[in-house]
A and B are shown apart, each in its own frame.
Chain A
């Protein structure tokens, strides 16, 4: 029998207070697809579960200021059902929708994916490439944190006691801009990324890349977004020379581990390949 307690606060202030009062053993609950597994395995044997799903804003997608605001606890399947979001941010949505099965998609959220802080989290490279801003709520009020600053290492976040991620803000999309996410797994479905690559880019009228951001997952303790990889393709029309520079810059940013899913050499090599392929897809989408 587990010794946990449960609260479902209905305001962000109450949620922050509950998380703070619960101390280090308190955990926010979004979709629960990681937390309930930890509960069952005994990794969370006691403490307070604070369900964030009743906090206004935690679930749902809305347009605001020309961009999108996504509730951090919104289930993946709901992201895929939002046609406008899919059209504007296909890479973010495809990354979130790669997490787990249909059943898991009914619950799993990008907020949970980010704050679980797995280096292999699928939605995080896409969010980082998209320059997503997290609205972090805590006892001291609200602050805005870029998505890449949340995870500090495997299972570890920069959130202070009582803080949680309430929303993601995706910036307004210029014309001729898009994104893509690809991952490598040994099977076709239901697996953890051996490498993930998110690319977000914008073109001018002539098809020249004027802005880019490349983020890689599962090749370092946290997602990395090497400036050199973005710089490798900015100013180009994604010709072969630019793609080669991109692949090399992506590989140079890798600091992976070897484990049962992939060696250092394999992950490094695949990171270059996936960065190139994701860039090609994002470029085609941006031109379309």
Chain B
């Protein structure tokens, strides 16, 4: 039996630590050790994007990262997206547009969409579809998701214009 590892990291701005086996995925550690169950396991092989998180500012599938690799690094999950009780504009627009049905893919889609808008505040529909190609949704047919992201992008651009 291999020795459990102690990992010190930052999760949604707060210091965090956990113990894990060397072969444990970061997704399992986030869910089972840190109790943050917003990130989902759909496929476990990097195809569905339901486990999307930000690792040191990069969008990744947490099922394809070892938990031990998170040592000293910065993790952002869906749980850090709303500020206090206030939903992020993307979350609000997903609700307004009905961009979800079962909701299993939603945390991953929101994290990935936020990463897109941080890179590109004014994405075209085509750019948005390509960026989100790694997030599978079996309910919505994607159209409402894309509309919600583009609408949120427009609102965020408006908010940036100084009064």
Contacts and interface: CB of A to CB of B under 8 A. Distances in A.
Given A4-B22, A6-B68, A101 B2 contact: no
B46 interface: yes
Most buried by A among B25, B58, B63, B116: B58
Interface stretch (A28-36, A114-122, A127-135, A244-252): A28-36
Contacts of B59: 102-103, 106
Contacts of A288: none
A37 interface: yes
Most buried by A among B2, B64, B71, B135: B64
B25 A5 contact: no
Contacts of B65: 32, 36, 107
B44 A40 contact: yes
Interface SS of chain A: mixed
A101 B22 contact: no
B134 A101 contact: yes
B66 A3 contact: no
Contacts of A102: 59, 112, 115-116, 131-134
B5 interface: yes
B9 interface: no
Given A4-B22, A32-B64, A102-B132, 4 more contacts: A3-B1, A5-B22, A32-B66, A51-B66
B23 A103 contact: no
A75 B49 CA distance: 17
Contacts of B66: 6, 29, 32, 36, 49, 51
